Structure 1
């Protein structure tokens, strides 16, 4: 079976190299992988003990980060390696201040390539996040007796593990992973049903992260001046559907102040043109080019502020749920104890379903019905307060997943 797996990896690598000729994002990943081996050889000494976290992309990185930060406190002299599969994860994190000593792409999962990579530094602990499994890597770690874990593991029925073709992969996980730390009890149940009994329910580490965001909140300049004590809607990671909602709400309720943080900053000029004299850019306030008084919509034209912006909101709309790209981070908003509204075109988002079941959030099939509900939230204070209280309670009752995980892992 490994023979077929190896062929699939070679085909994937070939396909990505071909796609790199036409796609800049794919090209970054292909070119970046060429530098990974050299980077670890240059930046890690032979005597360094390395804790290694692998994340498919940015979302998985943020899930693993609470564990990584606690490990750095527990083992301050150890080095930290973070690898990514996706350019979107790597490009976002490599620019930030982080606990990692080295950040690079995970090499393609070819046996010889992985063995060479593993031999170039001394891994004493490895964990991957959610469900990004590379079987030659897991095999190589086990051969070197490296303790190997899965943080915020998420199993669901449609994965290949749960059909006749998945037995080989289940066996690889059973042999090569010390423990799975599951983010949901349903995931734990599914894993145990296929013999992965080295499993523990810990909760989702993202709750640790968003609780920390609230605790460490710092004011954002000029936001209070824009709000002027009026009710506030924050629209985070917006796509066009959420911006359609904003257009409806601006004309329906002129008293509400709206803060819009687009998913793609390249679209900011287009959004500004769409809302014309009703909108201003955050950079215009910072550069003293505009007064905040006469505008209803503030467009955020930078990155890194969104998780703090939700602190100012009475209601949040989170983007992606009306788009095939998928729902963005709703926990950042819910952590501030506010109602959250989003589209229902998502899957593999247990936190979204759980928030809806707790009456802390609502999802909708289209932006028109979502906009009507947002308008209702601003006219019905009792409903808004009820949902806000449910959001606070839901977040407060989540376990401290990272602390539980650290009680059960060890280095080599």
Structure 2
């Protein structure tokens, strides 16, 4: 399939795209807002001639934050525009940067929408985070002479096989990229084999290792926890959970309560549209639950704190003693393990970590990451770590050591981007 056929199929799929958008808006009303932006209609007024960064969703927005901060500091004369595709990503971007950046949803990959968007924005440089590759957007930049960089690029073996099935579409697209800053050499080689120019592919590492934690964050968390009277309670967090995982967390927590009646679980669903559903699940399970959004203190009688706020995940991690990162007990590929690691939290996850294979391997090899498959294994891991604080601390220290050993990717990526800006 080439780009012309891809574009035709995309146009034919527009009725289904509208239906899916309507369905998502029914489940999460935020999807029903700013729909025009998705078709390059009603775009905000932009200052042109700057840097455009695309971070598809919440995870990529978090990963892009250090890069955005550094570009704002290095190039105060250039407007920085950040796009995404999801309301959670949009809310996080605006919460982090406010009016320091320009922001809208990225229009769908339709040639006329791409053209309207780029004509309005006129960027000097386009930066795409991780693997959000859109052939028409990339081609539109290429024909306008706008360099395009794929930053923090990752490509699993499964994704590479998928791209290879559409080589007539993906090879020209990858050939139009000016920089692919891959996380690992294995991923760099996959990009080369799929059609990227070898001279444009560099191994820079993962900028997720360059996460910096505000020194005040742990102190604020400790103060809040003390105000709850929970300084001595066993507190663990299950974060970024997906459907099918919350039940496992609650089963394991119920078993933990048999041994530690004062234990508290901070349960944080990945998607806001599931907040109410998970709250009702906790209530049906007979667990005393309060919602973080109410700012009600989880007293001694409370067994679950539902993390139903946005932009607060790092703070919620800081409140806990142990952290399980979700999206990994179901075949979703996992979420960012490095956020709790940076806060010195012993790590747990499920076995499905194909989005973070290299990071997971390093954390596991260092002795931090514990992988569990079900409620029984999760309970056993929680019981062991709470019973042996020295081992928990040793694991946390190992995770921090992995973080420090891998830092520097952001500086390497910025070097490549500065080279592209100099050519623009």
Shared fold (TM-score, shorter chain, > 0.5): yes
Select 2:276's aligned residue among 260, 266, 284: 266
CA distance in 1, matches of 2:324, 2:401: 19
3-state SS of paired residue (1:376): helix
Give the superposition deviation at 1:391. Answer: 1.0
Answer yes or no: is 1:352 the counterpart of 2:360: yes
Taking the TM superposition and a 5 Å limit, the aligned residue runs for 1:173-212 are: 173-174=174-175, 176-196=176-196, 197=198, 198-209=200-211, 211-212=212-213
Residue number in structure 2 paired with 1:251: 258
CA distance in 2, matches of 1:236, 1:157: 26
Residue number in structure 2 paired with 1:69: 69
3-state SS of paired residue (2:220): coil
Q: In terms of mean alpha carbon deviation, does 131-140 or 23-32 score higher?
A: 23-32
Taking the TM superposition and a 5 Å limit, the aligned residue runs for 1:32-181 are: 32-35=34-37, 37-40=40-43, 42-45=44-47, 48-94=48-94, 97-98=97-98, 101-158=101-158, 159-160=160-161, 163=164, 165-174=166-175, 176-181=176-181
Change (3 A) 1:283 1:94: closer
| Equivalent pair of 1:318/1:340 in contact (CA under 8 Å) | yes
**Cα displacement string for residues 370-411 of structure 1 (whole angstroms, at most 9, x for unaligned residues):** 211211112233432332221121111112222211112132
Q: In terms of mean alpha carbon deviation, does 102-111 or 229-238 score higher?
A: 229-238
Residue number in structure 1 paired with 2:6: 5
Answer yes or no: is 1:235 the counterpart of 2:238: yes
Taking the TM superposition and a 5 Å limit, the aligned residue runs for 1:323-342 are: 323-342=330-349
Residue number in structure 2 paired with 1:364: 372
Alignment gaps of 5+ in structure 1 = none
| Equivalent pair of 2:250/2:282 in contact (CA under 8 Å) | no
CA distance in 2, matches of 1:386, 1:8: 54
| Equivalent pair of 1:184/1:201 in contact (CA under 8 Å) | yes
| Equivalent pair of 1:16/1:30 in contact (CA under 8 Å) | no
Change (3 A) 1:214 1:246: farther
Taking the TM superposition and a 5 Å limit, the aligned residue runs for 1:355-394 are: 355-394=363-402
**Cα displacement string for residues 100-126 of structure 1 (whole angstroms, at most 9, x for unaligned residues):** 532222222222222222122321111
CA distance in 2, matches of 1:67, 1:384: 32
Q: In terms of mean alpha carbon deviation, does 77-86 or 99-108 score higher?
A: 99-108
Select 2:226's aligned residue among 224, 227, 232: 224
3-state SS of paired residue (1:259): strand
Give the superposition deviation at 1:301. Answer: 4.4
Query: TM-score if structure 2 supplies the norm length?
Result: 0.84
Give the superposition deviation at 1:188. Answer: 1.7
Alignment gaps of 5+ in structure 2 = none
3-state SS of paired residue (1:123): coil
- Aligned residue pairs total 404
3-state SS of paired residue (1:349): helix
CA distance in 1, matches of 2:309, 2:166: 46
**Cα displacement string for residues 202-250 of structure 1 (whole angstroms, at most 9, x for unaligned residues):** 22122223x3356765504531233233443223234222222211211
Pairwise CA RMSD: 3.0
Query: TM-score if structure 1 supplies the norm length?
Result: 0.86
Give the superposition deviation at 1:255. Answer: 5.2
3-state SS of paired residue (2:416): coil
The structure carrying a bigger helix percent of its residues is 2
**Cα displacement string for residues 5-56 of structure 1 (whole angstroms, at most 9, x for unaligned residues):** 112321343321133444426986586342363554x5224xx322101122
Residue number in structure 1 paired with 2:329: 322
Give the superposition deviation at 1:184. Answer: 2.3
| Equivalent pair of 1:51/1:79 in contact (CA under 8 Å) | yes
